[in-house]
Amino acid sequence: MKRPIVVSGIRPTGYLHLGNYFGAVRSFVKMQESYNCYFFIADLHSLTTHPTPDNLQAGVKQVLSEYLACGIDPEKATIFIQSDVPEVTELYTFLNMNAYLGELERTTSFKEKARQNPENVNAGLLTYPVLMAADIIIHKAQFVPVGKDQEQNLEMARKFAGRFNRMYNCELFPLPQPFTFDGGDMIKVPGLDGSGKMGKSEGNGIFLYEDPKEIRKKVMRAVTDAGPTIMNSPKPEPIENLFTLMKIVSDPDIVQKFDEAYARCEIRYGDMKKQLAEDIVNFTAPIRERILDILKDEEYMARVAKTGAEKARESAQATLKEVKQLIGVKRLF
C-alpha cells in the first residue's frame, strides 16, 4: 500500500525552541518511519518580516542543521528549502485567484500581525495562508504535523483545496488534516513568562541550541507566585504552564511528586524549577552537540538540500501539470 503523504515546514526566523520541537519536529521524526514525508524550511514565508540576506541564509542553515540534529533522516524523509521548489509559488498564484480578501483579512494571525506591526501590513502577510496551502497541497498531503497555533491556517488550506476541487469538478487534492504526536489534541507549549505560548517572536523561547547555563537561568527566572494556601486549589496560569512544560520533558512520577506537593500546599517552586531545568538540559544537550557538528559540515547540508529539492520538485511538477490542465493553462506551441 502507498504511504500517506505528510508535509510540514518551519520558518527560518530563529533557533528552534521547545515549542517547535514538541509541537512539530517530534512528530516529523516519528512520522518519517511510516509516512511519505516532505519537511521543508519555509524561507519564503519568513520574507514577510524582511530579513537581511545574511540573516535569511544563516536562518536557513540553522534550521536545516536543527532538523538533522533532531533526527530527521534524509534517507527517510524529503528535506528541502521552500524556495528551491519554484512550482510552489506557481501554484500559489493559481490559488490566489480563488482566495478572497474578506476571508484572508479575517484570519487571526493576519489580524494579530497587522496589529503588532501596523507599518508592515504587506500583501505577503495577507496571502500567507494561500502560500501555506500551496506548500501542502502541491504534494497532495493528507497529514500536516503542526502546533495548535497553525490550526486556522490548516483550516484555510482545506478550504482552498476543497474550493479548487469543486471549481474544477475534480478530486485532485485531499483535504489535509492536522496530525498530533500521540493522537491527542494539537499542542501548545507555553512560555515561562506567565501566559501565552512559547514563540520565537514572543522572546520567551528556550532553544534546543541554547547553552545549558542559559537554559538554567531562564527556567529559574520563570514566573511563579507565593504558592497555594488552600489544599487542592486550582493552579493559576503561570504555575499551570510550569507543570505543562514539566509534563512534556520530565518523567511522569516526577510530575506527580510536584503535583501532590502543590495539592498539599508544600510545593517549593525553586526545587521544581531546578528539576525542570535539569530535565530540559538532559534533553537539549545532545541535540545541541549534534547541531554544532552539523553546522561545520556545509557540504553535507548542501547535499541534503540538493537531493531534497530534486525529490520535492518531482512531486510538485507532477501536481502542477495536473493543475494547469484542469485550469486550461496550456502551451500553444
> Phi, psi at residue 5, to the nearest 5°?
-95, 140
Please pick, from the candidates 7, 13, 262, 320, the single residue that binds ligand ADP as defined by CB under 6 A.
13
8 binds ligand TRP (CB under 6 A): yes
Residue 19 binding target from ligand ADP, ligand TRP, none, CB below 5 to 8 Å by type: ligand ADP
Which of the following is catalytic: 148, 159, 188, 200?
200
Question: DSSP assignment, residue 24?
Answer: I
C-alpha cell at 288: 545541541
Q: How near is the Cβ of 23 to ligand ADP at its closest, in Å?
A: 2
C-alpha cell at 35: 509516512
Confirm whether 113 is a catalytic residue.
Answer: yes
Q: Which is nearer to ligand ADP, 82 or 267 (CB)?
A: 82
Q: Which of residues 116-135 bind ligand TRP (CB under 6 A)?
A: 132, 135
Please pick, from the candidates 31, 81, 136, 281, the single residue that binds ligand TRP as defined by CB under 6 A.
136
**Cα–Cα distance between 89 and 91 in angstroms, integer?**
5
Confirm whether 273 is a catalytic residue.
Answer: no
Q: Which of residues 142-161 bind ligand TRP (CB under 6 A)?
A: 144, 146, 150, 153
Asked if residue 64 lies in contact with residue 304, where contact means CB atoms within 8 angstroms, the answer is yes
Asked if residue 161 lies in contact with residue 173, where contact means CB atoms within 8 angstroms, the answer is yes
Asked if residue 224 lies in contact with residue 269, where contact means CB atoms within 8 angstroms, the answer is yes
Please pick, from the candidates 6, 7, 20, 176, the single residue that binds ligand ADP as defined by CB under 6 A.
20
Q: Is 304 exposed, middle or buried (0-12, 13-18, 19+ CB in 10 A)?
A: buried
Helices 269-296 and 237-249: crossing angle, nearest 10°?
50
Residue 198 binding target from ligand TRP, ligand ADP, none, CB below 5 to 8 Å by type: ligand ADP
Binding residues (CB under 6 A) for ligand ADP: these are 10-11, 13, 19-20, 23-24, 146-150, 187-189, 197-201
**Catalytic residues, which ones?**
113, 197, 200
